Amino acid sequence: MRIVPVCLLWVVLAVVAVPSAEAGMLDSHSSEWAFDLNYTNQTSTATSTDVNFSWGHLIGQGYAEAGLSGTYQRLDDKTAGGSDVEASIAGPFMAWNWTPHSDTASGFLQAGIGVVGGDLHRSFNYSLDAALGVKCFVGNSAAVTLQFFYQRLGDTSVSGGQKEDLDGVAIGIALFSGRR
């Protein structure tokens, strides 16, 4: 899949090229609400829909962020005899924002852990995730986000439990609230 390395390159370039300014988006707000939606059509085998949301509290001058995230996933299996799967993942995350004083954009690195529920809980009971991305600010209380993410689903209920690695690119929006 060629699109993932190309998108990762754009994310890295955007993070490196982000300028710093004196008064910015992240250091003047106290909360961030982020949303993204992914839809994947896997030709004749399946389609998947992921809805992700998070709330983060911006700490100090906005460099650090801690909060809660949640995901709803639905996999529609198109194969003969296949079954559809729905899942939810919820848990805490931490993020580091490179340039919270910028009024144009900020790169970020994020990591989280989650508990898996729904149909997917039959195979996995935890999720570890990491993301590298950029927030491009629009106006004084919103941003468009682009991130490359990695996720590992695993099972701790048995020794040597099943694991599944996922990666991709997500585009979403972030809304900022609470003035400092």
| Predicted pLDDT of residue 97 | 95
Residue 3 phi/psi, 5° resolution? -70, -35
Q: Count how many domains the chain has.
A: 1
Q: Which residues contact 94 (CB under 8 A, 6 or more apart)?
A: 64, 65, 66, 110, 111, 112
| Predicted pLDDT of residue 24 | 60
Residues spanned by the domain of 108: 3-18+30-179
In a domain, 102, yes or no: yes
In a domain, 172, yes or no: yes
Rg (CA), the chain: 17
CA–CA distance, 141 with 163 (Å, rounded to integer)? 39
Nearest CA to 151 out of 139, 138, 167 is that of 167
In a domain, 24, yes or no: no
Helix, strand, or coil (residue 16): helix
One pLDDT digit (tens) per residue for the chain, 180 residues: 455 555 555 555 555 444 433 346 788 889 999 999 887 776 667 788 889 999 999 998 899 999 999 999 888 877 767 778 899 999 999 999 999 989 899 999 999 999 999 988 888 899 999 999 999 999 888 999 999 989 898 888 777 778 888 888 889 999 999 886
* Confidence (pTM): 0.79
CA–CA distance, 3 with 28 (Å, rounded to integer)? 35
Q: What CATH number does the domain containing 169 carry?
A: 2.40.160.20
